């Protein structure tokens, strides 16, 4: 990849900029950015990373291997309408990180046979630990998917999925960090209620989540098996788990994921052709 052009310069675009530079996939000068109207934000990114910023769409898109749609969904149609008249080069890969917007909608604004890839990273991209799902549009083949996979691999792990699975992906890995933060919030409050110092409680909480994730990553055991291994009959863990079962935590989490997936589908229906 010789050049990437970002349309939209928010937190996710910045995370990808950091990842590309850290992985030495591109020199900073070959990472180009623009946004809707925030000149101060563009100057901030230029000063921090040495990237190229511009308001000239022709220069932005010229010779770009990848065009990254990273604007807010509400600005998507305006940006796509602009691309419709931009005379994109054959083979330029248009990558969208816009939640809920299908590749078919994007393709309807672009030249025939333009490769389009949809991606769903999560906010952990800002620390280069994202889980990103990528899905191919009609004209994106294995070569284009490899390019996009390497790109998102700079900010974590990328997994290829079918586009019909993207609503589920959004509900699990896209929104998933928020669910875990909510659990952390509850556990942190609970640790204070049982008398633990706030600083110590936070330190233990962080390491507990890190260790549990690492155990799941490095073990062949399922989460249920790992849980069972530390739940002795009549012990402290069993006492806590019994309350979670009585309160219906598992059913609540399942309902939570379903609600998020349903909302993702609803958002997609707004942007449909």
Q: Per residue in 148-180, pLDDT tens?
A: 999 999 999 999 999 999 999 999 999 999 999
Per-position b or e across 137-168, b if 16+ CB within 10 A of its CB: bebbeeebbebbbebbebbbebeeeebeebbb
pLDDT at residue 243, rounded to an integer: 97
CA distances for 118 relative to 94, 163, 226, 271, angstroms: 8, 8, 34, 14
pLDDT at 273: 55
User: pLDDT (tens digit, 9 = 90+) per residue, 175-211?
Assistant: 999 999 999 999 999 999 999 999 999 999 999 999 9
Q: What is the pLDDT of residue 131?
A: 93
pTM of the shown model = 0.87
CA-based end-to-end distance of the chain: 31
User: Token pair for residue 94?
Assistant: 């248009």
Q: For residues 86 and 61, which has the higher predicted lDDT (pLDDT)?
A: 61
The pLDDT value recorded for residue 269 is 81
Mean pLDDT calculated for residue range 241-270: 93
Least trusted range by pLDDT, from 51-55, 123-127, 230-234: 123-127
Is pLDDT above 60 for 80?
yes
Residue 79 has pLDDT above 60, yes or no: yes
Structural domains in the chain?
4-169 (3.40.50.720), 174-267 (1.10.3730.10)
Model pLDDT, residue 175 = 93
Name the DSSP letter for residue 220.
S
What per-residue confidence (pLDDT) applies to 84? 87
Q: How many CA atoms lie within 13 A of 66 on its CB side?
A: 32
Mean pLDDT of the chain: 93
pLDDT digits (tens, 9 = 90+) for 104-121: 999 999 998 999 999 999
Whether 5 and 61 have beta carbons less than 8 Å apart is answered as yes
Cα separation, 57 vs 75, whole angstroms: 16
Quick one: angle between helices 236-247 and 249-270, nearest 10?
50
CA distance 233 to 159: 39
């Amino acid at each position: 990849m010789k050049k990437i052009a970002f349309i939209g310069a928010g937190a996710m675009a910045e995370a990808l900029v950091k990842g590309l530079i850290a992985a030495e996939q591109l020199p900073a000068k070959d990472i180009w950015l623009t946004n809707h109207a925030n000149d101060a934000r563009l100057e901030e990114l230029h000063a921090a990373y040495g990237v190229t910023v511009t308001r000239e769409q022709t220069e932005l898109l010229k010779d770009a291997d990848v065009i990254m749609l990273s604007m807010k969904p509400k600005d998507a149609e305006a940006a796509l309408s602009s691309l419709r008249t931009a005379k994109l080069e054959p083979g330029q890969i248009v990558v969208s990180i816009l939640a809920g917007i299908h590749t078919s909608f994007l393709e309807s604004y672009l030249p025939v046979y333009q490769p389009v890839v949809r991606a769903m990273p999560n906010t952990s991209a800002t620390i280069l630990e994202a889980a990103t799902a990528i899905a191919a549009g009609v004209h994106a083949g294995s070569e284009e998917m490899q390019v996009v996979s390497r790109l998102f691999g700079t900010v974590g792990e990328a997994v290829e999925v079918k586009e019909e699975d993207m609503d589920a992906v959004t509900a699990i890995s896209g929104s998933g960090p928020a669910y875990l933060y909510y659990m952390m919030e509850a556990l942190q409050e609970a640790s204070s209620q049982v008398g633990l110092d706030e600083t110590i409680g936070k330190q233990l909480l962080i390491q507990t989540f890190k260790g549990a994730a690492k155990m799941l990553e490095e073990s062949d055991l399922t989460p249920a098996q790992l849980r069972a291994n530390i739940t002795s009959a009549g012990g402290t863990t069993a006492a806590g788990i019994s309350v979670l079962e009585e309160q219906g935590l598992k059913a609540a989490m399942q309902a939570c994921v379903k609600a998020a997936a349903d909302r993702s589908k609803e958002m997609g229906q707004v942007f449909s052709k």
